[in-house]
Amino acid sequence: VSDSLPLVGLMLGDCTGIGPEQSAKILASRGMADTARLLVIGDRRVLELGARDAGVKLDVRVVKRPEDADWNSTAVQMIDLANIDPASIKRGAISPESGRITGETLKFMIDLALEGRLDGIVFAPLNKAALHAGGWKYNDEHIMFARLTGHQGFHGEMNVLDDKWMSRVTSHVGLREALDQITPKRIDEALTLAYETMKGAGFANPRIAVAALNPHGGENGLFGREEIDVIAPAVVRGAGRGILCKGPFPADTVFIKGFGDEFDGVLTMYHDQGQIATKLKGFNRGVTVSGGLKTVFTTPAHGTAFDIVGKGVASTGAFENAIRLGARLAAARKAKVAAAGSYANANL
């Protein structure tokens, strides 16, 4: 594994779910060896449980610090936090204890990343209810990550499917509150964030379709004026900043455009607008990105899949895509840090 590859922390996900099995399968295949230097961080017993589920053998080399990893070795490099014994946890069900430890492990990894010692974090499926029950009481993991990274300002979930990027102006709030949040400033921030993140993922000049809010895009003001007063001017401002954005397009056709050849992604106004479309398109194959934070976070879009835990049948495609995308974003981040001379100077 080349030292020039980004150093990505691999988190096994909630140990009650399919994450450990998926992680073990991917690590055993060594299919990511050309993509990233993957450092597993978590409890070794959880990884070993995953290897048994997957029916694979893993050669694990435990290290104390990221700097101690041996990237010439073919062994799995791992920091063993020894913080949860999976034998003590019922699998395939929500566990507050597992949720609590999952959050602790993520916090440990985030602290390493903020010290510039990991270039990014990729995690297997979390369980939001378990995190909540375990004391990590945030509306979503993106807000949790923002808090743990000390982030101020706009950030947000993005969903990537077949290399198409769905971003949001508003997310995990009631629809009434979302309407109040759709302000010029917030659309500007969301558009810029989509643009910058997609550039980090490798688009030279991402083409973004902006969704309307009201039916038929407001039908010239007959069905609401947000398009005229708020969204269209934001698209004009975005184009003025050099972003290849167009719209607003009526929400019921913007995804047909977005999944076509004309655009690389869609900026949506609210959660279900994008999620109805991406879930119908096969959301579970996709990748979720926490955009705009001080480190890179990617994860497969699917969940802990409690119904198939321990059966050895979990597929790994979405998780592999998450690792690839996380590595791309982390490499861009690493290059920025190198150019700035230090992590602190990079102003991430």
Q: In this complex, which beta carbon is closest to a copy of itself, that of residue 308 or of residue 346?
A: 308
Query: Per rule CB under 8 A, is residue 163 in the interface with a copy of itself?
Result: no
Q: In this complex, which beta carbon is closest to a copy of itself, that of residue 55 or of residue 215?
A: 215
Query: Per rule CB under 8 A, is residue 133 in the interface with a copy of itself?
Result: no
Residue at 218: amino acid letter: G
Q: How many residues does the chain have?
A: 348
Distance CA 140, CA 131 (A): 10
Taking the complex as a whole, the smallest distance from the CB of residue 166 to a copy of itself amounts, in Å, to 11
Query: Per rule CB under 8 A, is residue 183 in the interface with a copy of itself?
Result: no
Query: Per rule CB under 8 A, is residue 315 in the interface with a copy of itself?
Result: no
Distances (CA, A) of 141 to 14, 148, 223, 251: 13, 10, 35, 26
Neighbours of 220 (CB within 10 A): 10
Determine contact, residues 280/105, Cβ cutoff 8 Å. Answer: no
Taking the complex as a whole, the smallest distance from the CB of residue 276 to a copy of itself amounts, in Å, to 5
- Residue 171: DSSP 8-state: -
- 208 to 247: interface string for a copy of itself, x by CB under 8 A: -----xxxx-xx--xxxxx---------------------
Distance CA 56, CA 92 (A): 21
HSE at residue 254, side-chain half, CA atoms within 13 A, is: 32
Distance CA 98, CA 13 (A): 10
Distance CA 75, CA 71 (A): 9
- Give the residue, chosen from 75, 82, 236, 256, that forms a contact with a copy of itself under the rule CB under 8 A: 256
- Give the residue, chosen from 44, 52, 117, 172, that forms a contact with a copy of itself under the rule CB under 8 A: 172
Q: In this complex, which beta carbon is closest to a copy of itself, that of residue 68 or of residue 229?
A: 229
The window from 4-12, 22-30, 62-70, 280-288 that contacts a copy of itself (CB under 8 A) reads 280-288
3-state secondary structure of 248: strand
- Give the residue, chosen from 68, 162, 177, 262, that forms a contact with a copy of itself under the rule CB under 8 A: 177
| Binding region for a copy of itself (CB under 8 A) | 139, 171-177, 179, 213-216, 218-219, 222-226, 250-253, 255-256, 270-273, 275-281, 283
